[in-house]
Structure 1
Amino acid sequence: MLFLRSALFNLTFYVSSAIICIAVTPAFILPRGVIVFCMRAWSRWTMWLLRVIAGTRYEVRGLENLPKEPALIASKHQSMWDTIIYAAILNDPAIVLKKELLYIPYYGWYSIKAQMVPVDRTSGASALRNLILHAKNALAQNRHLVIFPEGTRAAPGSHNPYKPGVAGLYSQLGIACVPVALNSGLYWPRRKFLRRPGTIVLEFLPPIPPGMNRKAFMAELEGRIEPATDKLLAEAGFSG
Protein backbone atom coordinates (compact mmCIF):
# COMPACT_ATOMS: atom_id res chain seq x y z
CA MET A 1 0.00 0.00 0.00
CA LEU A 2 2.83 2.40 0.84
CA PHE A 3 4.42 1.74 -2.54
CA LEU A 4 1.15 2.23 -4.43
CA ARG A 5 0.28 5.47 -2.61
CA SER A 6 3.79 6.79 -3.21
CA ALA A 7 3.63 5.86 -6.88
CA LEU A 8 0.25 7.57 -7.28
CA PHE A 9 1.45 10.70 -5.53
CA ASN A 10 4.66 10.93 -7.57
CA LEU A 11 2.80 10.41 -10.84
CA THR A 12 0.12 12.95 -9.97
CA PHE A 13 2.59 15.47 -8.60
CA TYR A 14 4.96 15.48 -11.57
CA VAL A 15 2.28 15.29 -14.26
CA SER A 16 0.10 18.00 -12.69
CA SER A 17 3.15 20.20 -12.08
CA ALA A 18 4.11 19.95 -15.74
CA ILE A 19 0.56 20.80 -16.82
CA ILE A 20 0.39 23.77 -14.44
CA CYS A 21 3.77 25.10 -15.60
CA ILE A 22 2.70 25.03 -19.23
CA ALA A 23 -0.79 26.40 -18.54
CA VAL A 24 0.59 29.37 -16.61
CA THR A 25 3.07 30.35 -19.35
CA PRO A 26 1.03 33.44 -20.41
CA ALA A 27 1.63 34.86 -16.93
CA PHE A 28 5.20 35.70 -17.96
CA ILE A 29 3.92 38.84 -19.66
CA LEU A 30 1.80 39.82 -16.65
CA PRO A 31 2.91 41.53 -13.40
CA ARG A 32 5.17 39.58 -11.04
CA GLY A 33 2.34 39.21 -8.52
CA VAL A 34 0.50 36.86 -10.87
CA ILE A 35 3.42 34.41 -10.87
CA VAL A 36 3.70 34.70 -7.08
CA PHE A 37 0.00 33.83 -6.78
CA CYS A 38 0.41 30.84 -9.11
CA MET A 39 3.45 29.56 -7.19
CA ARG A 40 1.54 29.76 -3.92
CA ALA A 41 -1.41 27.93 -5.47
CA TRP A 42 0.92 25.20 -6.79
CA SER A 43 2.59 24.84 -3.38
CA ARG A 44 -0.75 24.44 -1.65
CA TRP A 45 -1.91 22.04 -4.34
CA THR A 46 1.18 19.92 -3.65
CA MET A 47 0.47 19.90 0.09
CA TRP A 48 -3.11 18.84 -0.64
CA LEU A 49 -1.95 15.99 -2.90
CA LEU A 50 0.53 14.87 -0.28
CA ARG A 51 -2.14 14.75 2.40
CA VAL A 52 -4.89 13.12 0.33
CA ILE A 53 -2.81 10.57 -1.57
CA ALA A 54 0.22 9.85 0.62
CA GLY A 55 -1.36 10.59 4.00
CA THR A 56 1.37 13.12 4.81
CA ARG A 57 0.19 16.19 6.69
CA TYR A 58 2.16 19.11 8.02
CA GLU A 59 2.13 21.27 11.15
CA VAL A 60 3.70 24.71 11.51
CA ARG A 61 4.82 25.74 14.98
CA GLY A 62 6.22 28.96 16.34
CA LEU A 63 4.57 31.43 13.99
CA GLU A 64 4.61 33.88 16.89
CA ASN A 65 8.42 33.95 16.47
CA LEU A 66 8.13 35.32 12.95
CA PRO A 67 8.63 39.12 12.94
CA LYS A 68 6.17 41.29 11.07
CA GLU A 69 9.06 43.13 9.43
CA PRO A 70 11.27 41.31 6.89
CA ALA A 71 13.62 38.79 8.46
CA LEU A 72 16.27 36.30 7.43
CA ILE A 73 14.81 32.81 7.79
CA ALA A 74 17.52 30.16 8.09
CA SER A 75 15.99 26.74 7.54
CA LYS A 76 17.15 23.20 8.09
CA HIS A 77 17.11 21.32 4.77
CA GLN A 78 16.22 17.62 4.56
CA SER A 79 13.83 17.30 1.65
CA MET A 80 12.45 18.74 -1.57
CA TRP A 81 9.39 19.49 0.58
CA ASP A 82 11.34 22.30 2.24
CA THR A 83 11.69 24.15 -1.06
CA ILE A 84 7.94 23.98 -1.68
CA ILE A 85 6.39 24.76 1.69
CA TYR A 86 7.55 28.34 2.18
CA ALA A 87 5.55 29.64 -0.77
CA ALA A 88 2.47 28.11 0.87
CA ILE A 89 2.92 29.48 4.39
CA LEU A 90 4.69 32.82 3.84
CA ASN A 91 3.59 35.86 1.90
CA ASP A 92 5.82 36.15 -1.17
CA PRO A 93 9.11 34.85 0.30
CA ALA A 94 12.41 35.47 -1.47
CA ILE A 95 14.18 32.11 -1.49
CA VAL A 96 17.94 31.86 -1.92
CA LEU A 97 18.72 29.19 -4.51
CA LYS A 98 21.64 27.92 -6.54
CA LYS A 99 22.09 29.84 -9.78
CA GLU A 100 22.17 26.58 -11.74
CA LEU A 101 18.50 26.03 -10.91
CA LEU A 102 17.60 29.08 -12.98
CA TYR A 103 18.56 27.15 -16.11
CA ILE A 104 15.88 24.50 -15.54
CA PRO A 105 13.01 25.09 -17.99
CA TYR A 106 9.93 26.60 -16.36
CA TYR A 107 11.19 26.16 -12.77
CA GLY A 108 14.06 28.54 -13.41
CA TRP A 109 11.98 30.89 -15.51
CA TYR A 110 9.32 31.18 -12.83
CA SER A 111 12.01 31.71 -10.18
CA ILE A 112 13.45 34.59 -12.20
CA LYS A 113 10.01 36.15 -12.73
CA ALA A 114 9.21 35.80 -9.02
CA GLN A 115 12.56 37.49 -8.22
CA MET A 116 14.03 34.73 -6.12
CA VAL A 117 17.61 35.26 -4.93
CA PRO A 118 20.26 33.35 -6.93
CA VAL A 119 23.73 32.59 -5.61
CA ASP A 120 26.63 31.61 -7.85
CA ARG A 121 28.85 29.47 -5.64
CA THR A 122 31.65 29.41 -8.24
CA SER A 123 32.29 33.14 -8.48
CA GLY A 124 34.10 33.72 -5.19
CA ALA A 125 33.83 37.10 -3.48
CA SER A 126 31.53 38.52 -6.16
CA ALA A 127 28.96 35.85 -5.27
CA LEU A 128 28.40 37.43 -1.85
CA ARG A 129 28.15 40.93 -3.32
CA ASN A 130 25.51 39.82 -5.81
CA LEU A 131 23.70 37.86 -3.11
CA ILE A 132 23.55 40.94 -0.88
CA LEU A 133 22.31 43.10 -3.77
CA HIS A 134 19.45 40.72 -4.61
CA ALA A 135 18.63 40.30 -0.92
CA LYS A 136 18.37 44.05 -0.37
CA ASN A 137 16.00 44.32 -3.32
CA ALA A 138 13.81 41.63 -1.74
CA LEU A 139 13.80 43.38 1.63
CA ALA A 140 12.80 46.62 -0.09
CA GLN A 141 9.71 44.75 -1.31
CA ASN A 142 8.92 43.79 2.31
CA ARG A 143 9.64 40.10 1.71
CA HIS A 144 11.09 37.56 4.13
CA LEU A 145 14.38 36.09 2.90
CA VAL A 146 14.65 32.28 3.14
CA ILE A 147 18.02 30.53 3.05
CA PHE A 148 19.15 26.95 3.65
CA PRO A 149 22.47 27.41 5.50
CA GLU A 150 23.70 23.90 4.67
CA GLY A 151 23.33 24.57 0.96
CA THR A 152 22.06 21.06 0.25
CA ARG A 153 19.84 18.44 1.82
CA ALA A 154 20.99 16.41 4.80
CA ALA A 155 19.46 13.07 5.77
CA PRO A 156 17.65 12.92 9.12
CA GLY A 157 20.14 12.54 11.95
CA SER A 158 22.99 14.22 10.04
CA HIS A 159 23.94 17.70 8.93
CA ASN A 160 26.23 19.41 6.46
CA PRO A 161 28.63 22.24 7.33
CA TYR A 162 26.86 25.59 7.44
CA LYS A 163 27.91 27.82 4.54
CA PRO A 164 29.23 31.36 5.18
CA GLY A 165 26.56 32.96 2.98
CA VAL A 166 24.04 33.02 5.82
CA ALA A 167 26.50 34.91 8.04
CA GLY A 168 27.20 37.35 5.22
CA LEU A 169 23.51 38.10 4.81
CA TYR A 170 22.99 38.43 8.56
CA SER A 171 25.88 40.85 9.05
CA GLN A 172 25.31 42.94 5.91
CA LEU A 173 21.53 43.24 6.12
CA GLY A 174 21.32 44.04 9.84
CA ILE A 175 18.06 42.13 10.36
CA ALA A 176 16.93 39.42 12.75
CA CYS A 177 17.47 35.79 11.79
CA VAL A 178 14.78 33.22 12.51
CA PRO A 179 16.14 29.64 12.71
CA VAL A 180 13.86 26.85 11.48
CA ALA A 181 13.89 23.20 12.52
CA LEU A 182 11.96 20.47 10.70
CA ASN A 183 11.68 16.72 10.20
CA SER A 184 10.56 16.53 6.56
CA GLY A 185 13.25 14.02 5.61
CA LEU A 186 11.39 11.30 7.48
CA TYR A 187 8.38 11.58 5.17
CA TRP A 188 9.72 12.89 1.86
CA PRO A 189 13.27 11.45 1.90
CA ARG A 190 15.88 12.84 -0.44
CA ARG A 191 16.51 10.72 -3.54
CA LYS A 192 13.88 8.21 -2.45
CA PHE A 193 10.68 7.07 -4.11
CA LEU A 194 8.52 6.52 -1.04
CA ARG A 195 6.34 9.20 0.56
CA ARG A 196 5.56 8.15 4.11
CA PRO A 197 2.35 8.96 6.00
CA GLY A 198 2.53 11.04 9.15
CA THR A 199 2.92 14.68 10.11
CA ILE A 200 5.83 16.84 9.01
CA VAL A 201 6.60 19.47 11.64
CA LEU A 202 8.21 22.78 10.74
CA GLU A 203 9.08 24.99 13.71
CA PHE A 204 10.07 28.65 13.67
CA LEU A 205 12.45 29.17 16.60
CA PRO A 206 12.95 32.43 18.53
CA PRO A 207 14.77 34.99 16.39
CA ILE A 208 18.44 35.82 16.76
CA PRO A 209 18.66 39.61 17.04
CA PRO A 210 20.98 41.51 14.71
CA GLY A 211 24.42 42.65 15.77
CA MET A 212 26.29 39.46 16.68
CA ASN A 213 29.74 38.87 15.19
CA ARG A 214 29.97 36.21 12.50
CA LYS A 215 31.59 33.48 14.55
CA ALA A 216 29.18 33.85 17.45
CA PHE A 217 26.22 34.04 15.08
CA MET A 218 27.15 30.84 13.24
CA ALA A 219 27.63 28.98 16.51
CA GLU A 220 24.29 30.29 17.81
CA LEU A 221 22.45 29.42 14.61
CA GLU A 222 23.72 25.86 14.42
CA GLY A 223 23.31 25.48 18.17
CA ARG A 224 19.62 26.27 17.85
CA ILE A 225 18.68 24.48 14.62
CA GLU A 226 20.38 21.13 15.13
CA PRO A 227 19.13 20.29 18.68
CA ALA A 228 15.62 21.48 17.80
CA THR A 229 15.67 19.31 14.67
CA ASP A 230 16.87 16.31 16.68
CA LYS A 231 14.00 16.90 19.09
CA LEU A 232 11.45 16.88 16.26
CA LEU A 233 12.98 13.70 14.86
CA ALA A 234 12.80 12.01 18.26
CA GLU A 235 9.20 13.17 18.68
CA ALA A 236 8.38 11.40 15.42
CA GLY A 237 10.03 8.18 16.64
CA PHE A 238 13.34 8.50 14.79
CA SER A 239 16.16 6.82 16.68
CA GLY A 240 19.06 7.30 14.26
Structure 2
Amino acid sequence: MQWLKSLIFVIYIYLFMAVWGVVCFPLLLHPKGARWVCGVYAAHVLWLARVFLGIKTEIRGPIPTGEVVIAAKHQSFLDIMMIYDAVPAAKFIMKRELLFTPFIGQYAWRLGCVPVNRGKRGKAIAQMLEDVKKGAAQPGQLVIYSQGTRVAPGDYKPYKVGTAAIYKETGWPCVPAATNVGLLWPRKGIMRKPGLAVVEFLDPIPPGMAKADFMAQLETRVEAKSNALMKELGFDAESKLAGGAERSL
Protein backbone atom coordinates (compact mmCIF):
# COMPACT_ATOMS: atom_id res chain seq x y z
CA MET A 1 0.00 0.00 0.00
CA GLN A 2 2.80 2.46 0.85
CA TRP A 3 4.45 1.78 -2.50
CA LEU A 4 1.19 2.49 -4.36
CA LYS A 5 0.66 5.70 -2.39
CA SER A 6 4.25 6.66 -3.18
CA LEU A 7 3.65 6.11 -6.90
CA ILE A 8 0.53 8.28 -6.83
CA PHE A 9 2.44 10.94 -4.92
CA VAL A 10 5.37 11.00 -7.36
CA ILE A 11 3.07 11.24 -10.39
CA TYR A 12 0.99 13.96 -8.75
CA ILE A 13 3.84 16.28 -7.68
CA TYR A 14 5.31 16.34 -11.19
CA LEU A 15 1.91 16.85 -12.83
CA PHE A 16 1.18 19.62 -10.36
CA MET A 17 4.58 21.17 -11.11
CA ALA A 18 3.67 21.33 -14.81
CA VAL A 19 0.14 22.68 -14.31
CA TRP A 20 1.16 25.17 -11.62
CA GLY A 21 4.12 26.30 -13.69
CA VAL A 22 1.93 27.02 -16.72
CA VAL A 23 -0.86 28.74 -14.76
CA CYS A 24 1.60 31.02 -12.96
CA PHE A 25 3.92 31.65 -15.91
CA PRO A 26 2.99 35.36 -16.19
CA LEU A 27 4.37 35.88 -12.67
CA LEU A 28 7.86 35.23 -14.05
CA LEU A 29 7.83 38.89 -15.09
CA HIS A 30 8.97 39.67 -11.55
CA PRO A 31 11.46 37.75 -9.39
CA LYS A 32 9.16 38.03 -6.36
CA GLY A 33 6.42 36.39 -8.40
CA ALA A 34 8.66 33.46 -9.28
CA ARG A 35 9.68 33.11 -5.64
CA TRP A 36 6.06 33.05 -4.52
CA VAL A 37 5.15 30.40 -7.10
CA CYS A 38 8.03 28.15 -6.04
CA GLY A 39 7.25 28.75 -2.37
CA VAL A 40 3.66 27.61 -2.80
CA TYR A 41 4.84 24.52 -4.67
CA ALA A 42 7.40 23.58 -1.99
CA ALA A 43 4.90 24.09 0.84
CA HIS A 44 2.30 22.01 -0.99
CA VAL A 45 4.73 19.12 -1.58
CA LEU A 46 5.78 19.11 2.08
CA TRP A 47 2.16 19.21 3.25
CA LEU A 48 1.14 16.37 0.95
CA ALA A 49 4.14 14.26 1.97
CA ARG A 50 3.02 14.62 5.59
CA VAL A 51 -0.71 13.92 5.21
CA PHE A 52 -0.54 11.34 2.42
CA LEU A 53 2.73 9.48 3.09
CA GLY A 54 3.44 10.16 6.75
CA ILE A 55 6.72 12.00 6.07
CA LYS A 56 6.98 14.72 8.68
CA THR A 57 9.59 17.42 8.18
CA GLU A 58 11.56 19.39 10.73
CA ILE A 59 14.04 22.25 10.43
CA ARG A 60 16.59 22.49 13.23
CA GLY A 61 19.08 25.20 14.04
CA PRO A 62 18.91 28.94 13.34
CA ILE A 63 17.39 29.76 9.94
CA PRO A 64 20.04 31.46 7.74
CA THR A 65 19.09 34.98 6.70
CA GLY A 66 20.90 37.73 4.85
CA GLU A 67 23.66 36.95 2.37
CA VAL A 68 25.26 33.63 3.31
CA VAL A 69 26.49 30.49 1.59
CA ILE A 70 24.57 27.40 2.66
CA ALA A 71 26.71 24.28 2.08
CA ALA A 72 24.24 21.43 2.31
CA LYS A 73 24.17 17.67 2.30
CA HIS A 74 22.06 16.52 -0.67
CA GLN A 75 20.22 13.20 -0.53
CA SER A 76 17.03 13.74 -2.52
CA PHE A 77 14.50 16.21 -3.91
CA LEU A 78 13.06 16.52 -0.41
CA ASP A 79 16.00 18.43 1.07
CA ILE A 80 15.70 20.98 -1.77
CA MET A 81 12.05 21.58 -0.90
CA MET A 82 12.79 21.81 2.83
CA ILE A 83 15.60 24.34 2.44
CA TYR A 84 13.64 26.44 -0.05
CA ASP A 85 10.61 26.47 2.26
CA ALA A 86 12.70 27.36 5.32
CA VAL A 87 14.95 30.24 4.25
CA PRO A 88 13.77 33.66 3.05
CA ALA A 89 15.35 33.81 -0.42
CA ALA A 90 17.14 30.62 -1.48
CA LYS A 91 18.94 30.39 -4.80
CA PHE A 92 20.85 27.31 -5.84
CA ILE A 93 24.06 26.40 -7.59
CA MET A 94 22.63 24.00 -10.17
CA LYS A 95 23.56 21.88 -13.16
CA ARG A 96 23.48 23.97 -16.34
CA GLU A 97 21.34 21.32 -18.06
CA LEU A 98 18.47 22.11 -15.67
CA LEU A 99 18.08 25.53 -17.30
CA PHE A 100 16.65 23.72 -20.32
CA THR A 101 14.20 21.64 -18.26
CA PRO A 102 10.60 22.79 -18.73
CA PHE A 103 9.28 24.89 -15.81
CA ILE A 104 12.26 24.15 -13.53
CA GLY A 105 14.69 25.99 -15.79
CA GLN A 106 12.61 29.10 -16.31
CA TYR A 107 11.76 29.54 -12.66
CA ALA A 108 15.30 28.74 -11.50
CA TRP A 109 16.68 31.37 -13.85
CA ARG A 110 14.23 33.98 -12.54
CA LEU A 111 15.12 33.17 -8.93
CA GLY A 112 18.76 33.91 -9.70
CA CYS A 113 20.08 30.35 -9.48
CA VAL A 114 23.65 29.98 -10.80
CA PRO A 115 24.16 27.30 -13.50
CA VAL A 116 27.37 25.25 -13.57
CA ASN A 117 28.85 23.10 -16.32
CA ARG A 118 29.99 20.12 -14.26
CA GLY A 119 31.95 18.55 -17.09
CA LYS A 120 34.68 21.23 -17.11
CA ARG A 121 35.75 21.72 -13.55
CA GLY A 122 38.17 24.66 -13.80
CA LYS A 123 36.12 26.58 -16.33
CA ALA A 124 32.92 25.80 -14.43
CA ILE A 125 34.25 27.21 -11.18
CA ALA A 126 35.56 30.33 -12.93
CA GLN A 127 32.20 30.94 -14.62
CA MET A 128 30.32 30.26 -11.40
CA LEU A 129 32.41 32.82 -9.54
CA GLU A 130 31.94 35.31 -12.36
CA ASP A 131 28.16 34.87 -12.21
CA VAL A 132 28.16 35.39 -8.46
CA LYS A 133 30.51 38.40 -8.67
CA LYS A 134 28.46 40.12 -11.38
CA GLY A 135 25.34 39.76 -9.31
CA ALA A 136 23.71 37.39 -11.79
CA ALA A 137 21.93 35.85 -8.80
CA GLN A 138 19.36 37.82 -6.81
CA PRO A 139 20.21 38.79 -3.21
CA GLY A 140 19.59 36.00 -0.77
CA GLN A 141 20.96 32.72 0.51
CA LEU A 142 23.20 30.90 -1.98
CA VAL A 143 22.78 27.12 -1.61
CA ILE A 144 25.48 24.79 -2.86
CA TYR A 145 25.57 21.02 -2.59
CA SER A 146 29.21 20.50 -1.75
CA GLN A 147 29.41 16.90 -2.99
CA GLY A 148 28.01 18.00 -6.34
CA THR A 149 25.18 15.48 -6.50
CA ARG A 150 22.71 13.48 -4.45
CA VAL A 151 24.49 10.98 -2.20
CA ALA A 152 22.64 7.95 -0.81
CA PRO A 153 22.80 7.33 2.95
CA GLY A 154 25.94 5.42 3.85
CA ASP A 155 27.73 6.27 0.60
CA TYR A 156 30.67 8.64 0.39
CA LYS A 157 31.61 11.23 -2.21
CA PRO A 158 34.36 13.80 -1.69
CA TYR A 159 33.49 17.43 -1.08
CA LYS A 160 34.28 19.67 -4.06
CA VAL A 161 36.45 22.78 -3.83
CA GLY A 162 33.84 24.93 -5.58
CA THR A 163 32.29 25.57 -2.16
CA ALA A 164 35.57 26.98 -0.86
CA ALA A 165 35.92 29.13 -3.99
CA ILE A 166 32.47 30.67 -3.49
CA TYR A 167 33.10 31.12 0.24
CA LYS A 168 36.30 33.03 -0.52
CA GLU A 169 34.90 35.03 -3.44
CA THR A 170 31.77 36.23 -1.65
CA GLY A 171 33.36 36.82 1.75
CA TRP A 172 30.10 35.58 3.27
CA PRO A 173 29.71 33.25 6.26
CA CYS A 174 29.06 29.62 5.35
CA VAL A 175 26.23 27.76 7.05
CA PRO A 176 26.70 23.96 6.89
CA ALA A 177 23.47 21.96 6.61
CA ALA A 178 23.02 18.27 7.45
CA THR A 179 20.14 15.94 6.67
CA ASN A 180 18.72 12.43 6.88
CA VAL A 181 15.99 12.74 4.21
CA GLY A 182 17.45 10.06 1.94
CA LEU A 183 16.30 7.34 4.31
CA LEU A 184 12.65 8.30 3.75
CA TRP A 185 12.72 9.82 0.28
CA PRO A 186 15.58 8.15 -1.64
CA ARG A 187 17.36 9.68 -4.61
CA LYS A 188 16.15 6.83 -6.85
CA GLY A 189 13.07 4.66 -6.93
CA ILE A 190 9.41 5.16 -6.06
CA MET A 191 9.08 4.09 -2.43
CA ARG A 192 8.67 6.84 0.15
CA LYS A 193 8.73 5.79 3.83
CA PRO A 194 6.99 7.47 6.77
CA GLY A 195 9.15 9.08 9.44
CA LEU A 196 10.76 12.34 10.53
CA ALA A 197 12.89 14.01 7.85
CA VAL A 198 15.27 16.61 9.23
CA VAL A 199 17.40 19.36 7.77
CA GLU A 200 19.63 20.94 10.41
CA PHE A 201 21.45 24.24 9.94
CA LEU A 202 24.71 24.24 11.89
CA ASP A 203 26.68 27.12 13.37
CA PRO A 204 28.14 29.34 10.63
CA ILE A 205 31.77 29.14 9.57
CA PRO A 206 32.98 32.76 9.63
CA PRO A 207 34.64 34.31 6.56
CA GLY A 208 38.39 34.28 6.09
CA MET A 209 39.34 30.68 6.83
CA ALA A 210 42.05 29.06 4.70
CA LYS A 211 40.75 26.73 1.99
CA ALA A 212 42.09 23.46 3.44
CA ASP A 213 40.89 24.26 6.95
CA PHE A 214 37.50 25.38 5.65
CA MET A 215 36.94 22.24 3.59
CA ALA A 216 38.05 19.95 6.43
CA GLN A 217 35.75 21.64 8.94
CA LEU A 218 32.81 21.70 6.53
CA GLU A 219 33.02 18.02 5.65
CA THR A 220 33.64 16.88 9.22
CA ARG A 221 30.71 18.80 10.63
CA VAL A 222 28.18 18.01 7.91
CA GLU A 223 29.02 14.31 7.78
CA ALA A 224 29.03 13.90 11.57
CA LYS A 225 25.69 15.62 12.01
CA SER A 226 24.11 13.84 9.03
CA ASN A 227 25.25 10.51 10.46
CA ALA A 228 23.72 11.45 13.81
CA LEU A 229 20.42 12.42 12.16
CA MET A 230 20.34 9.16 10.23
CA LYS A 231 21.01 7.26 13.44
CA GLU A 232 17.82 8.77 14.85
CA LEU A 233 16.03 6.76 12.16
CA GLY A 234 17.95 3.59 13.05
CA PHE A 235 20.53 3.76 10.25
CA ASP A 236 24.22 3.50 11.15
CA ALA A 237 25.97 5.24 8.27
CA GLU A 238 29.39 4.93 9.87
CA SER A 239 29.13 1.14 10.02
CA LYS A 240 28.07 0.96 6.38
CA LEU A 241 30.99 3.13 5.31
CA ALA A 242 33.42 1.06 7.39
CA GLY A 243 32.07 -2.16 5.87
CA GLY A 244 32.47 -0.77 2.36
CA ALA A 245 36.05 0.24 3.08
CA GLU A 246 36.89 -3.24 4.37
CA ARG A 247 35.45 -4.90 1.26
CA SER A 248 37.53 -2.63 -0.98
CA LEU A 249 40.80 -3.72 0.66
State yes or no: 1:216 paired with 2:213.
Answer: yes
State yes or no: 1:51 paired with 2:65.
Answer: no
Q: Secondary structure at the match of 1:63?
A: coil
**TM-score, structure 2 length as denominator?**
0.89
Q: Tell me the equivalent position of 1:25.
A: 25
User: Is residue 61–residue 203 contact of structure 1 (8 Å, CA) maintained in 2?
Assistant: yes
Q: Secondary structure at the match of 1:190?
A: coil
State yes or no: 1:232 paired with 2:229.
Answer: yes
Residues 11 and 124 from structure 1, CA distance in 2 versus in 1: closer, same or farther, beyond 3 angstroms?
closer
Q: Distance in 2 between matches of 1:54 and 1:111?
A: 27
Per-residue displacement from partner, 1:193-226 (whole Å, max 9, x unpaired)? 0111111011011111111111111111001000
Larger mean Cα displacement after TM superposition, 128-137 or 7-16: 128-137
1:78 to 55, 75, 78: 75
> RMSD between aligned alpha carbons?
1.7
Structure 1 unaligned spans of 5+: none
**TM-score, structure 1 length as denominator?**
0.93
Q: Distance in 1 between matches of 2:24 and 2:161?
A: 36
Q: Distance in 2 between matches of 1:191 and 1:130?
A: 30
Q: Tell me the equivalent position of 1:61.
A: 60
Q: Match of 2:48, as an amino acid? A: L
Q: Tell me the equivalent position of 1:12.
A: 12
State yes or no: 1:176 paired with 2:179.
Answer: no
Q: Distance in 1 between matches of 2:108 and 2:217?
A: 31
> Offset of 1:87 from its aligned partner?
1.9
Q: Distance in 1 between matches of 2:149 and 2:207?
A: 25
Q: Secondary structure at the match of 1:36?
A: helix
User: Is residue 40–residue 88 contact of structure 1 (8 Å, CA) maintained in 2?
Assistant: yes
Q: Distance in 2 between matches of 1:208 and 1:142?
A: 20
> Offset of 1:172 from its aligned partner?
1.4
Q: Distance in 1 between matches of 2:120 and 2:15?
A: 35
Q: Distance in 1 between matches of 2:134 and 2:221?
A: 28
User: Is residue 13–residue 49 contact of structure 1 (8 Å, CA) maintained in 2?
Assistant: no
Q: Tell me the equivalent position of 1:189.
A: 186
- Corresponding residue pairs, total: 237
Question: In the TM superposition, what are the counterparts of 1:86-97 in structure 2 within 5 Å?
Answer: 86-97=83-94
Q: Secondary structure at the match of 2:200?
A: strand
> Offset of 1:32 from its aligned partner?
1.4
> Offset of 1:103 from its aligned partner?
1.1
2:113 to 116, 122, 127: 116
- State the identity as a percent: 37
Structure 2 unaligned spans of 5+: 241-249
